[in-house]
DNA sequence: GTGGTCTAGACCACA
DNA sequence: GTGGTCTAGACCACA
């Protein structure tokens, strides 16, 4: 966790969870670390972890079972990728386009830079 | 101004100012609209405009003259453009490309979205 | 047992027991399944079953005999039915009707939903 | 607020807001009481109000404007009614049906009681 | 003033 | 042990 970052800690925890899921440390259908375990491990308050978990739950990535903790959804990996695509097209890209227009950067500049990276 | 956007209003005002400068509505060395004029024109609170102007002043883009208001710096256009282009190509774009690769987003998706925004 | 439901597992177990009693699978005066048998059968933790049985005991529905397990009370069926019907018609139904009127929900919506559940 | 109730306070606050909206105390498009105002008025912690407001925001009933507070959505009344219908058919009704089946209550009993209430 | 985030500490129902 | 709720108190960016 980067406490100096502008990015709220609860979103950093979500990012961390995404890494665990895509990196296959958290397996579909299995239990994920409890709120308390995570709060100790990451040295943050339980509320902050709880807030991240709430968000992940609302995204359908983890599923709560009363008194038993949270379990990773079977389709968690798919959901994450979809969620990240949504974020990219809804937030990141419009900002980039806005900057490009402001600076008069042509889409062809972008395309050629992309192709450089590909080769 | 987009009150629903995540982008703070004072930064949207700065964006707007950048547009005025790059679009040559605000001429180097000439007076720019007063804080009050802007607040009326954009329908925002005066001290939100004041905050944007403070930032622009600290960036050397506009210069205050006692009792006369703010004037556009002679080198405002160049300064803005150079700095922003540098940042865009050094930081923003690589991050965007990285995300695109991670999510398997094709450059053609980007191009078609750009063209939509143009039409 | 529905682990996704808002209804606590131990109350779902009680519901299940009520079904067994009203459905005549559990006979008055006879032994009911042990906590362990139930926990295996329903795939839940033994102390979750124990909690449900405690509640049933406090309601006078089942009776513990040292070293022998729990036995169904002679008047279990009557007691359950009377109490629950009374509560349903006195409290639950009026609340439901009140909500329906407030939201303009027609009785026919309810009937068709009921028939769906039947088929 | 009923601190003894099983219903969480933040949901009671949401109920209260629903009353204000349906009762036309809160007008569409206008500012609603700030989190702090509500917390004083209802004698609860700001967090608890904030949690209720978060929920209302996620339901599209109120809209946040940075630094200015929350404003009532134009279509708030419609949204609330829809939300309450959803809750009724998703939660309340299934529970009622479950009870009815358990107790062997016929749908015709319900219909006749409804008609009594109507006449 | 306004909401957003975070901490520390507590109590609760549930499993 | 596990999450859910609530309090008290703090600091922050934003308007």
Q: What is the pLDDT of residues A49-66, one digit of tens each?
A: 999 999 999 999 999 998
- On chain D, the residues whose CB falls within 8 A of the CB of B3 are 65-66
The Cα–Cα gap between A3 and D14 comes to: 33
Taking CB atoms within 8 Å and a gap of at least 24, the contacts of A44-49 are A44/A1, A44/A9, A44/A13, A48/A9, A48/A10, A48/A13, A49/A10, A49/A13
pLDDT, position D83 = 84
Residue to test with chain A: of B110, B111, B115, B118, most A Cβ within 10 A: B110
Instruction: Provide, rounded to the nearest whole percent, the portion of chain A with pLDDT above 70.
Output: 100
* Helix ranges (DSSP H) in chain B: 9-22, 35-42, 46-58, 76-87, 93-103, 107-118
Q: What is the pLDDT of residues C107-119, one digit of tens each?
A: 999 999 999 887 7
Q: Quick one: average pLDDT of B92-98?
A: 89
Q: What is the pLDDT of residues B3-61, one digit of tens each?
A: 888 889 999 999 899 889 988 999 999 999 999 999 999 999 999 999 999 999 999 99
The shortest C-alpha distance from B87 to chain A (Å) reads: 11
pLDDT, position D87 = 84
Q: What is the pLDDT of residues D75-100, one digit of tens each?
A: 999 989 888 898 888 888 988 998 88
Query: How far apart, in Å, are the Cα atoms of A82 and each of A23, A26, C87, D50?
Result: 16, 18, 47, 29
Helix (H, G, I), strand (E, B) or coil at C7: coil
Structure confidence at residue B118 as a pLDDT band (50, 70, 90): confident
Kindly determine whether the C-beta of residue D66 is less than 7 Å away from any atom of nucleic acid strand F. yes
**Least CA distance to C91: which residue of chain D?**
D96
The Cα–Cα gap between C64 and C71 comes to: 6
Structure confidence at residue D26 as a pLDDT band (50, 70, 90): very high
Distance in angstroms, CA of C38 to C1' of E1? 59
Residue to test with chain D: of C107, C111, C112, C115, most D Cβ within 10 A: C107
- On chain A, the residues whose CB falls within 8 A of the CB of B84 are 99, 102-103
Q: Quick one: average pLDDT of C81-87?
A: 84
Q: pLDDT at residue A12 above 80? A: yes
The shortest C-alpha distance from B67 to chain A (Å) reads: 31
pLDDT, position C86 = 85
> Which nucleotide shows the minimum CA-to-C1' distance to residue A46?
E7
> Which nucleotide shows the minimum CA-to-C1' distance to residue B47?
F15
Kindly determine whether the C-beta of residue A113 is less than 7 Å away from any atom of nucleic acid strand E. no
Residue to test with chain C: of D103, D105, D109, D119, most C Cβ within 10 A: D103
Q: pLDDT at residue D31 above 80? A: yes
Q: What is the pLDDT of residues A18-39, one digit of tens each?
A: 999 999 999 999 999 999 999 9
Q: What DSSP line would sit under chain D, residue for residue?
A: --TTSSS-HHHHHHHHHHHHHHTTSSPTTSBPPPHHHHHHHHT--HHHHHHHHHHHHHTTSEEEETTTEEEE-TTHHHHHHHHHHHHIIIIIHHHHHHHHHHHT--HHHHHHHHHHHH-
pLDDT, position D54 = 96
Q: Which of D33, D45, D35, D36 is nearest to D8 (CA)?
A: D45
pLDDT, position C49 = 96
For strand F, the positions having any atom within 7 A of a protein Cβ are 1-10, 13-15
The Cα–Cα gap between B35 and B29 comes to: 17
Kindly determine whether the C-beta of residue A69 is less than 7 Å away from any atom of nucleic acid strand F. yes
> Which nucleotide shows the minimum CA-to-C1' distance to residue D64?
E3
**Least CA distance to C83: which residue of chain D?**
D103
The Cα–Cα gap between D107 and D88 comes to: 18
Between D81, D89, D97, which is nearest C114 by CB? D97
């Amino acid at each position: 966790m980067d406490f100096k970052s502008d990015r709220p800690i609860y979103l950093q925890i979500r990012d961390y969870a995404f890494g665990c899921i895509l990196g296959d440390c958290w397996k579909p259908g299995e239990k994920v670390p409890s709120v308390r375990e995570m709060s100790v491990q990451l040295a943050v308050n339980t509320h902050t972890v709880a807030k991240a978990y709430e968000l992940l739950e609302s995204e359908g990535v983890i599923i709560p079972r009363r008194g038993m903790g949270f379990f990773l959804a079977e389709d968690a990996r798919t959901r994450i990728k979809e969620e990240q695509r949504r974020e990219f097209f809804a937030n990141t890209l419009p900002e980039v386009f806005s900057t490009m227009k402001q600076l008069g950067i042509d889409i062809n500049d972008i395309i050629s830079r992309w192709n450089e990276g590909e080769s």
